[in-house]
Structure formats: C-alpha cells, structure tokens
A and B are shown apart, each in its own frame.
Chain A
Amino acid sequence: MKKVLSILLVLLLALVSLASVGTSYSQDKPFEGVEVTVLTFDGPQIAEPLQRRAPDFQELTGATVNVVTVPFADLYTQILTDQATGTYSYDAFVFAPQWMGDFIVPGYIEELTPYIENDPDIQWEDVAPFFRDFSATYEGKIYTIPLDGDFHMVYYRIDVLEEAGLEPPKTWDEYLQVAEALHGTDMNGDGEGDYGSCISKVRAGQAYWWITSIAAGGIQTQGTSQGVFFSLDDMTPLINNEAFIRALEIYKATNAFGPPNEETLDVGATRTLFISGRCALSLDWGDIGSLAVDPEQSVVQDKVGAVITPGWTEVLDRDTGELVPCDEMTCPLAVDGVNYAPFASFGGWSGGVSSGISQEKKDAAYAFFSYMSQPAQANVDVTIGRTGFNPYRISQFEDLGPWLDAGFSEMAAENYLGAIQDSLNSPNMVLDLRVPFNQRYQQVALDTVLSQFLAGEFTAEEAAEEIEFQWEEITDELGRDDQLAAYKASLGAE
C-alpha cells in the first residue's frame, strides 16, 4: 500500500513539474509565477476593481495578484509597521497619497519615475495635471500611480428641489435652508418622511474631511498656495477663529436635518441612503454620481445633480481671527460675492510599490497599477459606482462615451463631470494636508474631537480650542520649523 502511494506521489510530482516547465518559459507572460500582494482598505469600494481585474491581469502577464484588505483606520499603521519592521508581507499598497511623505522619507516605497518613463501604455500625460503633479509626486519625483480622483462636491435631488422651487445651494447658509425646507418630505414615494441632508459622521471612518470642506470657503481666499490648515508664519493652526467655529456650528446644524443615527453612518451608508432616495442633499466625493446610475441599486437615476462645494460670503481675517464681508480685497477669487474653495481631500486612492521586495515583484506590482490606470481599464472603472474610483484623466472628462455606456444620460454626465471640472479648475482649490504625520493631526486628533463635539462633550468654541491645543502639541513634538517648512513646500509657497 505504502509503495503504491509513493509511486503515485512521484508520478504526481513529475506531472506538476512538467506542467510548470510547459508554461513558465512562455515569452508573452513576463511575470509567470510571480505573486504580488496588494494591501488596501476593506471598502468594498477600491478593493472591488482590484479584485475584479486581478484575474484578467494574470491572464495577460501570468502574475498572481492577491488583494488584502484592512479597516480604513488601520491602513496607515499597517503599511508603516510592515515596512518599518521589514516584514514585507505586502508588496504594494493602495493608499491615500497624502501619507506618502511618511513612507518616502524612510525609504519604504519605490520611486516610480523610471518605470513611468519606460511605459508608454500608462499615457501619463493623460492624467490631469493636479493628480500628476500633486497627488503622485513628492519633491519632483513620482512615487504613486493615481487610480482615483477625489473632490468633495454637494449632490442634490434635481426633482425634489425643483418641486419645492429651490435652487442648489451656493453657500452653506443656503445649504442649511434647503435641508431644513426639504427635511421630512417624502422623496422616494414610500409615504415616509425623508432627510434634508445626509453626511457621514462616524468616528474612525472617513468622516473627518467634511469639516475642512465646510470651513475652507471661509478660510482660504487668496488661492491654493494660501492653505487652510496652518498659518504660514508660525504654523499656528487656523482653527481657533470665527470661521472655523462657524463651520463647526454648520456641521452640527446639519444633524437636525439628517438621519437620527448619522453619527454611526460611514460614507458607504450615506451613499446607500442617497441613492435609495432618502436624502435631498449630501456632501461626498465623486462616488454618488456614478452610483446613482446603477440600475441595480439606485432609484434616483437622472434625478441627481452635483455642484461645487458651497462657499462663504464672509471670510476670515487672519490677523484678527474674525469674519469680515467678502469684497474685492478680502476675496479676490469670489464668484458673485461667494468665495468657493473646493477641497481636493484625500487626493485620490493611489498605488505605491514597496522598496523592500525583489525587482521581479516590483516590476509586476508596477505593471498591475499601470494596467489598472491605463485608459482601457480606468475609463470604464470610473463610470462604475461600486469601484469607488472617480475620474482623474483628461480623456475621462472629454470622452462621454463610457459614461453613456454606463447608463448616464447626457445631461447627468455633463452635470457630474462639470461639477468636478469646476472644482479641478478652481484657482482657489484647497489642497489636503501633506506634512509628515498628517495622519496624527487629522485622523486622530481632529477625528476624535469632532466626534466629541457632535456628542455634546464640547461646545464649538471648546472644540476649536481643543483641536488647536492638540495640533500645537503634535507640532511641538515633531519640531515646529520642520513642520512649517514641510507645510510650505506642500503648498508650493515659499
């Protein structure tokens, strides 16, 4: 019996080795047998297209791509500890490019400039300049491949607003008025009252960016290089002032017109509420636009409009910390007296390659991100809501074809892409924080205090003081001069 078994085993081994010899020298599959592990967050968006396209990529190149996911709040730490300890469990990462400084300075991720120079297929010039030059680049070198474009916008229900005779909001005061007027209206025909405004406010999710979107119009007036987070003189946080406190009040005021459990909803949940017809307004990245046309999930096809994030008619005087009315001096970039400051929050999910792995794996990982980003794949993925990918290539804005194929009506596609382009082209666009350890400022300090503020543990003034205190503490710990220099460099301001 034993003998028979061992003969069988030998035969099996021989077969397996024959089979592998048969394929491994094939020329058209350059990465045959290479295995690449990609780490990202447990969306399901973002991970979905990576998982879906991995088999196609394997078919094409022979490389196996495993996608590993962790909760969003653990992603940064997971990448950092994996690299710092030299574990190298992951070969590549899909992450927020605003963290890249923390990975580049210690040499954790590979510089991709030479790869891109030798790769015509990626059509690098087609990537919109903002994502090419800001999101993907650090000190003039390219480190990440953009897979996603990110801007905050306000979405509204065209039909509901029209019926009530309301215009899409231009300022945050108008936002609150519209939300209040429509709160309790039945918007999906089930006979129950729905919500005026849905904004995800969960702690340890992706909810801490909204406050910057709300506040930005009141704080940044002189163009992108002015910044919204810190004073350019001494790194004092632009937090404990009338504009930010007013923004906190607006943020909390939206609670009254939202679902009762808004503080436990993550951004996926508010998107679901919006496309199931339960919200009149929402603040979101580009995702609602493409989710709304998905016939399987959405009941609001062709009923969703998008506008640039609302602005302010009063803005912060940085010397006094008080609000002053908008005029030619105080807000030179205002449109009809409203100062808009669309927030390029997050910067779009991007792929980076670990520097601690073999060259063969690096090549395969780069090839996978290049494949994902090439127009043939990307221009389709950005039109699919559940991918979580939003447009970031010039061709994606110019060619309506894929959008119409995905189910957009021409009007919806133009409206949606128009709102993104308005933001992308704004001279007063707001850049996300990219100083070292920005994760501690935003994802920890800001996020915690915001949730405490929403829970009533702080008044708006106390919350502003508390954020300022914690940010100052972090700045002092990390070195004020270094942080200020990094902040100025990230804005391109000297």
Chain B
Amino acid sequence: MVDKLSQVEKHAPTYVEDRPSHWEDPSKFVLIMPAILVVLFLSVFPLLLSLFTSVLRITFVKGGFDYQFVGLDNYRKLLMNPFSQERARGEHRHFMGKMVEFGEISTLGWIVMAVVLVLFLYWLVRFVAGTDRRARQVTVRLVPAVIAGIGLIALIVYAEVPALFGIASGAVGIAAIYAGCARLLTDSERRIATFGARAAAGIGIVVALRLLSNALHDADPSAAALDFLNQRVILDMAWLIVLAGMYIWVANYLTGGNTRKAVGVLFRSLTILIAATLLWITIRVSSADGLPGTLVVTLIFVFGGVTAQYVLGLGLALLVTQNLPGRRFFRVVFLLPMMITPVGIGFLFRMLMDTIIGPLAPVWSAVGLADFSWVDDPSFARAAIIFGDTWQWTPFVFIILLAGLEGLPPETVEAALVDGANRIQMFRYIILPQIVPVSTTVILIRMIEAFKIIDMPQILTRGGPGTATESMTLHSYNLWRALDLGPSSALAYILLFIVTFLALVFVNFVRQHLLEAV
C-alpha cells in the first residue's frame, strides 16, 4: 500500500520546481527573515529564561528579586532521595512517589519488568544484527548469560567473596557473555578479540574518569570551576560525554564501522535506559505499599486517556461513516465537548459526581451510593479525571480520524468487497493500514497535550485525595504558587524532557515500525 502511495506521489506534477526559489527572489528573504528571527526569539527566550530559573533560588526582596545560584540542586531535590537509607520525603516523594524496596515488589511487577527488558534487548540486538533469525539467536544466548552474570554479582555481594576475586570472576563472566554474543554478530575470531579489547578499554576509561571526578570533588567540594556552573556539574557532564563517546566507539566496531548505525545503537540504548527507568519507577510505586507520585500519575493520565480517546474516537468515526440515519446530526453533536472550556467541564463533572447535593444525587442514592465519595478513593478519582478528559478530547480524535476515513479512495474498499472480504478483514487489511499515518499523528498530538493536563484535576479534585490525582503540571503550578520558582521550573524542564523524549521515541520508533508493519 505504502509503495503504491509513494508511486502516486512520484508521478504527481512538481509545481515547485517551476517557481523561482527564495534565493532568486531576495525580497521574500528580506521580508521573511525578521519574522523568523522574532518567532525564534519569542520561542527560545522563555525556554532559556526558565532554564536559568531552574538553577536558581529566587526570593522577593525590596525592589524586586534576589537570586542565588544553586546548581542542579532543584533537580536533585526532585529526583534524588536526600536520605538514601530512610523513606523518601519532601518534593522527592511528592514527585517520584513512595517506591517500595526490592523485596516488596510484587511477582507480577518482576515478570512485567523482565518481559519488557527482554523485548527491549531483542529490539536492540535486532537493530545491530539486521535479521530476525540472528537477533533471536543472540537474544536466546544473551538472556541466560545476563541472568547468570547478575546471579554471579549477587553471589559476590551477598556471599562476601573477597573483593579482588569477585571483580576478577565478574570480569571473566562479563567477557564470556560478550564473546558469546559478539561471535554471532561479527563472524571473525580476530574481530571478537578486538571488540573485547575495545569494550574493556572503554569501560576502563569511563570508570577511571569517574573515580578521578569523585576524587577531585572530594578534595575540594566547595570549589567553583566557573561562576555559573559548579565544578561537580562540569565534571559530571564531561563524564557523560566521555561515556557516550566510548559507547559509540565500542558500538561502531560491533556494527562493522558504520558510525551512523553506531549512533543509532547509542540512542536506542538511551531510549531503553529511560523507558526502563520509567517502567521501573511505575512498578515500584504500584506495588502493594507504594504510592505513585506526580510523575506516575501523569503517565497514567496520558496512557489511560489517550488509549480510551483513540479507541472511542475511531469507533465513533467508523459509525458515522456508515450509512446510518441521523449521522449528520451526530457528527455535530460528537464535536460539542471539544468546544467547551476544560474548566467548565471540570465543574460539570464535579457537579455530576457529587453524591450529596449534585443534580445526579437521586440517581446516586437510587443505586446505593448516597454515602459514597468517589474522591475518597484514589483509583476512582483518577478514573474520573480520565473520564472527563476522554469526554472532552474524544471528539478531536474523532474528527481527524473521520477526515482520514472519508478521504480514503473508494476503489480499494470496492475491490475488497468484490473479492469477498468480510467486515473484520475489511477493517484490518484495507482501512486500518490506510489510516495509520493519520492515527499516529493524532496520537502524538494528544499525547503531548495530555502530558500538560492541569485544569481537570485542579477543578475536579484539586489533586486529591492527597496527591493521588496531581499531575506534573499541577505540581509545578503548586510550587510556583508557593513562589518556589526554582523547583517549579526544574519540574517543568523534567516534564519538557519526558515529553520530548517520548515524542521522539514515538515518531522515530513506534510510528516508523507501524508504517513498515502494515
């Protein structure tokens, strides 16, 4: 199908080439350039300003503001537990949630984590190896090898084997794992040896630099290398750059000198690292004694809401394209929720959900829920938020998918009908593949939007009960309202990072994969 479409594009007349380009018509350039500069300035300036704010501690004093540079302290407050041995507190707990210890993670949690890690590994190996068969072979060998390696390390840690012996056997074990896999990936004995050497050298350099950086920091913790960034931050950043460089250097060999591919390996590894960390946090906060922080609550809103909106939106769009009576009427009715302001919807749902004085109170009491408060229960409160969000945003998904469906060429459907396709086959093989591009676009837009949800929880529950429905944006807003501007900006930046990361992953990996698959 995709081939067919691209052929059509190839044969389309190219009007653009007939026109003079921008360079031949300098007046356009002169007129447009200032506008572009203004827009660039307007979009970049607030970003830089809030980045600057996120490394400051701001106080209000006579005649304006006073600020003090605190490095990455605002980020540390959110991301790190200040008391690694005790339970989490303060903004860290608020943001990351209450994470249970390893021993308390449920069996299901472990299984999900393991399965996802194996899938990630397979995905990475497949990228390096190029073929499915090979990727399977490598993964099948790699998984037991990694488990054995972890087992070995655990044995060393818990059985208190002498350190030197432990490190030596660990190194031998890891080298064996690498050799086993590299053999499959590279074909030649000599290359395996070189690869092993490169990997060892890379790890060595990275570890040595880390130790050096720690030693430098310990020697003079207060020294500031520059006015703007403190020494520790510079060292950490340099170390991260070296780490990435080493990674590419090693991966480069693995991919047979293809640097582009090696960079691909680095980015895929980073993706796995970040996605696995998010999953790991989610699993730890959703175990029996854990409680999600604003990070995981936001993820729940995004994935729960967008899934529901897509499924419903697609269903409604398919219904409206059928020859049903009143479809024109419903096409308008389905769009109405999108036109209402989110705050209005928040109040609407707050009234509907009120079991005591709301307009639906008789209904609630008729079904035996008169003395029930949905807002007392974290899961129900979150469901209510997702419900309200879905009510509002399904129309958006609906209208775009409807446009996509109505734009489909009727010939393909007619041809399938003639060939005797049933309804399910028609949807799966004819319609779905053609609306994948528009579907992925609408999901991407909704996903980016959903991360920024604030109005619904603020109006409906004010983030309650406790912090059960507090999204990251609401959390950032609450900090801002307390004039805690530094941590508020830091949180906003973390959100920006997560959104950008997930959007990039979605566009580069998920969308691409879907387009290839159908």
**Chain A interface (Cβ within 8 Å of chain B)?**
73-74, 77, 80, 84, 102, 105-107, 202-205, 259-264, 439-440, 443-444, 448, 451-457, 462, 465-466, 469-470, 473, 477
B65 touches A457 (CB 8 A): no
Tell which of B373, B378, B480, B483 touches A260, judged by Cβ atoms closer than 8 Å. Answer: B373
A84 touches B64 (CB 8 A): yes
Max chain A Cβ within 10 angstroms of own Cβ: one of B61, B480, B481: B481
A473–B481 CA distance with the chains assembled, in angstroms: 18
A203–B468 CA distance with the chains assembled, in angstroms: 12
What mask results when residues 443 to 469 of chain B are scored 1 for a CB within 8 Å of chain A, else 0?
Answer: 000000000000000000111111110
For A452, what are the chain B residues with a Cβ–Cβ distance below 8 Å? 466-467
For A102, what are the chain B residues with a Cβ–Cβ distance below 8 Å? 60
Question: Can you give 28 contacting A-B residue pairs, CB < 8 Å?
Answer: A77-B482, A84-B64, A84-B65, A102-B60, A107-B63, A202-B464, A204-B462, A260-B372, A261-B354, A264-B375, A439-B482, A440-B484, A444-B482, A444-B484, A448-B478, A451-B467, A455-B376, A455-B464, A455-B465, A455-B466, A456-B465, A457-B98, A457-B466, A462-B87, A470-B89, A470-B90, A473-B90, A477-B57
What mask results when residues 63 to 86 of chain B are scored 1 for a CB within 8 Å of chain A, else 0?
Answer: 111000000000000000000000
A470–B77 CA distance with the chains assembled, in angstroms: 12
What mask results when residues 372 to 383 of chain B are scored 1 for a CB within 8 Å of chain A, else 0?
Answer: 110110100000
User: B284 in the interface, Cβ–Cβ < 8 Å?
Assistant: no
A202–B463 CA distance with the chains assembled, in angstroms: 10
Which residue of chain B is the closest to A278 with respect to CB atoms? B356
Max chain B Cβ within 10 angstroms of own Cβ: one of A77, A80, A264, A470: A264
A454 touches B354 (CB 8 A): no
Which residue of chain B is the closest to A255 with respect to CB atoms? B376
Max chain B Cβ within 10 angstroms of own Cβ: one of A202, A439, A451: A451
A454 touches B465 (CB 8 A): yes
User: B309 in the interface, Cβ–Cβ < 8 Å?
Assistant: no
**Measured between C-beta atoms, what is the minimum distance from B393 to chain A in Å?**
24
User: B22 in the interface, Cβ–Cβ < 8 Å?
Assistant: no
User: B371 in the interface, Cβ–Cβ < 8 Å?
Assistant: yes
Count residues of chain B with CB under 8 A from any CB of chain A.
Answer: 38
A261 touches B467 (CB 8 A): no
Which residue of chain B is the closest to A478 with respect to CB atoms? B59
A264–B61 CA distance with the chains assembled, in angstroms: 36
Max chain A Cβ within 10 angstroms of own Cβ: one of B94, B466, B467, B480: B466
A451 touches B355 (CB 8 A): no
User: B291 in the interface, Cβ–Cβ < 8 Å?
Assistant: yes
Which residue of chain B is the closest to A259 with respect to CB atoms? B356
A262–B464 CA distance with the chains assembled, in angstroms: 12
**What 9 A-B pairs have minimum CB-CB distances, sorted nearest first?**
A455-B466, A455-B465, A452-B466, A260-B373, A261-B373, A444-B482, A106-B62, A457-B466, A469-B89
A466 touches B89 (CB 8 A): yes
For B61, what are the chain A residues with a Cβ–Cβ distance below 8 Å? 105-106
Which residue of chain B is the closest to A439 with respect to CB atoms? B482
For A264, what are the chain B residues with a Cβ–Cβ distance below 8 Å? 350, 373, 375, 461-462, 464
A203 touches B464 (CB 8 A): yes
A260 touches B466 (CB 8 A): no
A77 touches B466 (CB 8 A): no
Which residue of chain B is the closest to A204 with respect to CB atoms? B462
For B291, what are the chain A residues with a Cβ–Cβ distance below 8 Å? 457
A455 touches B461 (CB 8 A): no
A339–B90 CA distance with the chains assembled, in angstroms: 33
Task: Give 15 A-B pairs besides A77-B480, A106-B61 with Cβ atoms closer than 8 angstroms.
Answer: A84-B60, A105-B62, A106-B63, A203-B463, A260-B355, A260-B356, A260-B371, A261-B356, A264-B350, A264-B464, A444-B478, A451-B466, A456-B466, A465-B89, A470-B89
